[in-house]
């Protein structure tokens, strides 16, 4: 069957069945695999706690960071996580404004993914400060030293962008969640659950006039989040582009970072959604058509990223600048060349499989491609940060970066934290928006 | 006479909307409703929602405040970078934008709470049997007896005519 003709919602779904199927997941007992998943995530989060504890005790020296590669893993991981965090808002906000109704069954889940990815991302720059207890020096407040942040620096813009993005994503998610929390309150089987969901729902009871305010606010927040999502990764791109380093000092960075963020975000959504729909039997709501549409977005953004790679090399050659040309050549032939070629294979070659309808329709193929792209996007940030820094101008100042055990354990630890948060979300909150699914059911019924 | 609410329970959005329109045609407008999703077509019959004003107000406060803060901080702690002007406005745009979005969102959410009377853990329809299905698959429309045009017999009649399956009278 041609997946592009598939419906977004399996036939026969009603208001009641939608509410029951999605709403019972948080209220029922947790399946055994859930405990296994949470345990794995929790174990990872403990590894993070140990790594951070040791970091606080010994200092940044436990990482492989050095001069010239002062940014190291911390910034590679920060950019990777924050990029993943972009798909949630892209799906929720931009696709809402574009009337793409297929977003309905995946937006809640991807918004949660965004929040957790941003939480993981936020850890790295704070730890990388070296003295994280002084992070608040980045914020403007009237201090006794008479100092202000350097507002002309993208690193200061960054803290405003990431903090705003985290807050706005959280509120956008919560506003959408309100009616569903009320549903859970009314379906709860125990007094404790009713009380907890009731408090979280703030007393939402679905007055028809309240719905009008709610819908309008949701649309307005989507309108605000759309330029926001573009601004956040543009500013992350400017962190690099404003530096005078060969290979970084380029105007292509902001748009190329935004495309890369959406590319990696969709890859992560596919990685998570494909097992999720199987485990929770949500195939009626997350249909093959959803997977196919996401695969197409992956293919399109993959080409934008490929264009970014091309532009980097083209502008290095066109600039005629000795250092720019060397940085480009060093990327392709230097000591980290294998990362670069692996990244090209992962991010440019692999997504080309998605031209085939067979690949887009196969869950296994999609899952494998998405995993490869996740790795590829991490390598991309590694190539930008590490090969950019390790050989800049004077050969006397060159160096090499080798990640230590604690670099890897901190990175793996944030992965664990991400998984643990995700499993808690799946257990206690509806992974698909019930109120929006109800609207989809009613809209379908009204079409004769 | 003590305040009561006569509530009809409907199985479909269309029946709910029919009842709403019939009651409005009879001059009534003090309704208490509870429905599982946004009712399409109702927005045009209600006064426009003022929530956009909250959002706009927040955006203006955030944007103007952030710009003034940066312009002032640049004078209060001057950093001379190759003789560029202290009031280097293009560099102030990103933070201005971010804070405008942040305050617009905060104000919008505060506005939603204000307009919907949240948090409020009580509901005037709490005693209606089956009201818990209002957040699942049923539509409830109640008319308050303090409505100046309230007449119990007529309200019941119109609710039933529109297709109400159960009609209940309860104090809020």
Q: Does residue A351 contact residue A299 with C-beta atoms inside 8 Å? A: yes
Cα B146 to its chain centre, rounded Å, is 22
Cβ neighbours of B38 in A, within 8 Å: 211-212, 214-215, 435, 439
Asked if A171 lies within 8 A of B104 by C-beta distance, the reply is no
Output the pLDDT for position A7.
62
B77 touches chain A (CB under 8 A): yes
- Judged by CB atoms closer than 8 Å, whether chains meet at B31 and A146 is answered as no
Size of interface A-B (CB pairs under 8 A): 185
For residue A2, name the pLDDT band (cuts at 50, 70, 90): very low
Alpha-carbon distances, residue A400 vs A69, A255, A386 (angstroms): 7, 29, 8
Contact A204, A182 (CB under 8 A): yes
Lowest mean pLDDT among A193-202, A299-308, B115-124: B115-124
Which three-class secondary structure state does DSSP give residue A15? helix
Say if residue A164's pLDDT is above 90.
yes
Highest mean pLDDT among A432-446, B85-99, B135-149: B85-99
Among B40, B79, B102, the residue with its CB nearest the CB of A167 is B102
| Residue B115 near chain A (CB below 8 Å) | yes
Q: For residue A201, give how far its alpha carbon lies from the nearest alpha carbon of chain B (Å).
A: 8
In the prediction, which pLDDT does A448 show? 44
Provide the shortest C-alpha distance from residue A194 to chain B (in Å): 11
Is pLDDT above 90 for A302?
A: yes
Rounded to an integer, what distance in angstroms lies between the CA atom of residue B110 and that of residue A64?
A: 46
Mean pLDDT of chain A: 90
The answer to whether A298 touches A373, Cβ cutoff 8 Å, is yes
Looking at the complex, report in whole angstroms how far the Cα of residue A208 sits from the nearest Cα belonging to chain B: 6
Please report, for residues A4, A7, A237, A354, the alpha-carbon distance to residue A1 in angstroms, rounded to integers and kept in the order given.
9, 12, 42, 17
pLDDT of residue B66: 96
Question: How far apart are the CA of A198 and the nearest CA of chain B, in angstroms?
Answer: 7
Confidence (pTM): 0.92
Tokens of A18: 């939608």
What percentage of chain B reaches a pLDDT higher than 90?
A: 35
CA of A237, closest CA in chain B: separation in Å? 13
How far B20 CA sits from the closest chain A CA (Å)? 10
Asked if A224 lies within 8 A of B55 by C-beta distance, the reply is yes
**pLDDT the model gives residue B163:** 84
pLDDT (tens digit, 9 = 90+) per residue, B17-40?
Answer: 989 988 888 888 888 899 998 888
Place of tokens 């893993």: A73
Q: Which of B52, B76, B109 faces A148 most closely, judged by CB atoms?
A: B76
Query: Which of B:153-172 have CB within 8 Å of A?
Result: none
Q: Distance (Å, rounded) from C-alpha A446 to C-alpha A444? A: 5
* A146 vs A217 pLDDT, higher one: A217
Q: Could A186 and B132 be called an inter-chain contact, meaning their C-beta atoms sit closer than 8 Å?
A: yes
pLDDT of residue B42: 85
Decide if B73 and A149 are in contact by the 8 Å CB cutoff.
yes
Chain A residues close to B94, C-beta within 8 Å: 154, 157, 160-161, 231, 235
Q: What mean pLDDT is predicted for residues A284-295?
A: 88
Which positions in chain B touch A163 (Cβ < 8 Å)?
102
Is the pLDDT confidence value at B172 over 90? no
Q: Which of A196, A205, A210, A244 is best to mutate for the B interface (most B CBs within 10 A)?
A: A205
**Which 179-238 residues of chain A touch chain B by CB within 8 A?**
179, 182-183, 185-187, 198-199, 202-217, 220-221, 224-225, 227-228, 231, 235
- Please give the DSSP secondary-structure letter assigned to residue A121: H
Q: Please list every residue in chain A whose beta carbon sits closer than 8 Å to the beta carbon of residue B93.
A: none
Percent of chain A at pLDDT exceeding 90: 67
Token look-up 């914020």 returns: A139
Distance between CA A112 and CA A92 in Å, rounded? Answer: 11
> What integer pLDDT is reported at residue A5 of this predicted model?
42
B residues 8-47 lying closer than 8 A (beta carbon) to A: 13, 20, 31-40, 42-43, 46
Q: Is the pLDDT of residue A323 over 90?
A: yes
pLDDT band at B1 (very low <50, low <70, confident <90, very high): low
Asked if A180 contacts A434 with a C-beta cutoff of 8 angstroms, the reply is: yes
**CB of B36 closer than 8 Å to CB of A442:** no
Q: Residue-wise over B91-126: b if at least 16 C-beta within 10 A, else e?
A: bbebbbbbbbbbbbbbbbbebbeebbebeeeebbbe
| Residue in B with minimal Cα distance to A234 | B94
CA distance A203 to chain B (A): 4
Task: State ipTM.
Answer: 0.93
Q: Write the DSSP assignment of B27-93 as a string of letters.
A: T---EEEE-SSPPTT-GGGSPPPTHHHHHHHHHHHHHHHHHHHHHHHHHHS---STT--S--GGGGH
Residues A70-125 have pLDDT tens digits of 999 999 999 999 999 888 887 788 888 887 777 888 888 889 999 999 999 999 99
The minimal CB distance from A157 to the residues B46, B95, B112 is found for B95
Q: Are A8 and A102 in contact (CB under 8 A)?
A: yes
pLDDT band at A28 (very low <50, low <70, confident <90, very high): confident
Distance CA A221, CA A212 (A): 14
Closest of B109, B8, B118, B113 to residue B55, by C-alpha: B109
Whether A3 shows a pLDDT value over 50: the answer reads no
Q: What is the structure's pLDDT at B153?
A: 84
- Give the chain B residue nearest A147 (alpha carbons): B77
- Give the model's pLDDT for residue A446: 64
CA-CA distances (angstroms) from residue A218 to A51, A186, A413? 39, 23, 34
> What are the chain B neighbours of A202 within 8 Å (beta carbons)?
113, 118-121
Distance (Å) of CA A335 to CA A39, A89, A248, A394, B75: 39, 37, 18, 17, 47
- Partner residue facing A221 (CB), from B108, B125, B133: B108
Tell me which H or E stretch contains B10. Answer: strand B5-10
Nearest C-alpha neighbor of A239 from the set A167, A168, A161? A161
Average pLDDT over residues A404-424: 96
Report pLDDT digits (tens) over B141-168.
Answer: 888 888 888 888 888 888 888 888 888 8
Query: What pLDDT score does A80 carry?
Result: 95
Q: Average pLDDT of B72-88? A: 88
* Residue of A198, A212, A217 with shortest CB distance to B42: A212
Rounded Cα distance, A157 and A234, in Å: 10
Residue A133 has pLDDT above 80, yes or no: yes
Question: Average pLDDT in the A395-415 region?
Answer: 95
């Amino acid at each position: 069957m041609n997946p592009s003709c598939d419906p977004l919602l399996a036939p026969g779904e009603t208001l009641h069945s939608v509410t029951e199927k999605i709403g019972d997941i948080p209220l029922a007992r947790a399946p055994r695999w859930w405990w296994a998943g949470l345990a794995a995530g929790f174990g990872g989060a403990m590894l993070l706690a140990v790594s951070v504890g040791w970091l606080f005790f010994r200092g940044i020296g436990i990482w492989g960071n050095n001069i010239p590669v002062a940014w190291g893993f911390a910034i590679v991981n920060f950019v990777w996580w924050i990029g993943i965090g972009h798909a949630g808002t892209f799906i929720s906000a931009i696709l809402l404004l574009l009337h793409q109704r297929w977003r309905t069954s995946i937006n809640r889940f991807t918004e949660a993914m965004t929040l957790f990815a941003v939480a993981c991302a936020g850890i790295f720059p704070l730890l990388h400060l070296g003295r994280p207890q002084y992070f608040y020096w980045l914020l403007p407040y009237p201090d006794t030293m008479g100092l202000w942040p350097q507002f002309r620096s993208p690193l200061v813009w960054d803290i405003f962008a990431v903090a705003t993005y985290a807050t706005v994503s959280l509120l956008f998610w919560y506003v959408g969640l309100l009616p569903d929390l009320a549903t859970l309150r009314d379906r709860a089987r125990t007094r404790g659950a009713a009380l907890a969901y009731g408090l979280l729902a703030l007393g939402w009871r679905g007055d028809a006039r309240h719905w009008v305010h709610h819908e309008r606010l949701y649309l307005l927040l989507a309108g605000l989040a759309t330029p926001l999502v573009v601004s956040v990764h543009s500013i992350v791109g400017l962190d690099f582009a404003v530096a005078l380093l060969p290979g970084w000092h380029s105007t292509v960075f902001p748009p190329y970072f935004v495309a890369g963020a959406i590319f990696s975000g969709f890859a992560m959504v596919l990685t998570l959604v494909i097992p999720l729909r199987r485990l929770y039997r949500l195939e009626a709501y997350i249909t093959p058509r959803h997977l196919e549409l996401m695969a197409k977005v992956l293919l399109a953004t993959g080409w934008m990223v490929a264009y970014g790679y091309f532009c980097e090399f083209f502008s290095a050659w066109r600039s005629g600048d000795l250092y720019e040309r060397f940085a480009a050549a060093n990327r392709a032939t230097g000591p980290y060349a294998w990362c670069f070629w692996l990244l090209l294979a992962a991010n440019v070659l692999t997504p080309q499989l998605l031209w085939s309808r067979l690949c887009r329709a196969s869950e296994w193929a999609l899952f494998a491609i998405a995993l490869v792209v996740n790795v590829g996007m991490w390598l991309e940030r590694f190539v930008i940060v590490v090969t950019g820094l390790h050989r800049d101008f004077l050969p006397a100042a060159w160096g090499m970066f080798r990640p230590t055990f604690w670099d890897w354990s901190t990175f793996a630890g944030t992965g664990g934290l991400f998984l643990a948060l995700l499993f808690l979300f799946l257990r206690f909150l509806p992974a698909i928006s019930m109120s929006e699914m109800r609207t989809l059911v009613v809209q379908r019924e009204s079409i004769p | 006479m003590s305040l009561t609410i006569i509530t009809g329970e409907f199985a479909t959005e269309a029946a709910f909307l029919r009842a709403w329109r019939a009651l409005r045609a009879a001059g009534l407008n003090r309704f208490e409703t509870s429905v599982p999703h946004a009712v399409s077509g109702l927005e045009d019959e209600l006064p426009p929602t003022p929530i956009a004003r909250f959002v706009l107000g927040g955006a203006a406060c955030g944007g103007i405040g952030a710009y003034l803060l940066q312009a002032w901080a640049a004078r209060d702690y001057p950093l001379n970078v190759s003789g560029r002007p202290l009031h280097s406005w293009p560099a102030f745009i990103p933070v201005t934008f971010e804070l405008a979005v942040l305050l617009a969102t905060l104000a919008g959410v505060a506005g939603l709470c204000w307009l919907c009377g949240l948090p409020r853990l009580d509901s005037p329809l709490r005693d209606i049997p089956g009201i818990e299905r209002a957040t699942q698959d049923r539509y409830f429309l109640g008319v308050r007896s303090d409505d100046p045009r309230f007449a119990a017999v007529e309200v019941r009649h119109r609710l039933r005519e529109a297709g109400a399956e159960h009609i209940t009278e309860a104090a809020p």
